Amino acid sequence: MTRKQTETNSKVKKSFLFSIVTTLNYFRPIIDNTNANLKLFKL
């Protein structure tokens, strides 16, 4: 693997990780709300 390929791969990995983190941050409030609603129903 050449140096250029390695740099490209790390960029792809970073952007992939960034999109995963962004997605998780977006869904976290929804998941928290769902958990809160489930707790309310159990009471």
Q: Report pLDDT digits (tens) over 5-39.
A: 899 999 999 999 999 999 999 999 999 999 999 98
Phi-psi region of 20 (alpha: psi -120 to 50; beta: other; left: phi over 0): alpha
Please state the domain count of the chain: 1
Distance CA 5, CA 13 (A): 12
- Return the amino acid letter for 8: T
How much is the pLDDT for 34?
93
- Segments forming the whole domain that contains residue 1: 1-43
| Assessment of whether the complete model's pTM goes beyond 0.75 | no
Distance CA 16, CA 22 (A): 10
Distance set, CA 20 to CA 5, 10, 31, 43 (Å) = 22, 15, 15, 34
How much is the pLDDT for 19?
95
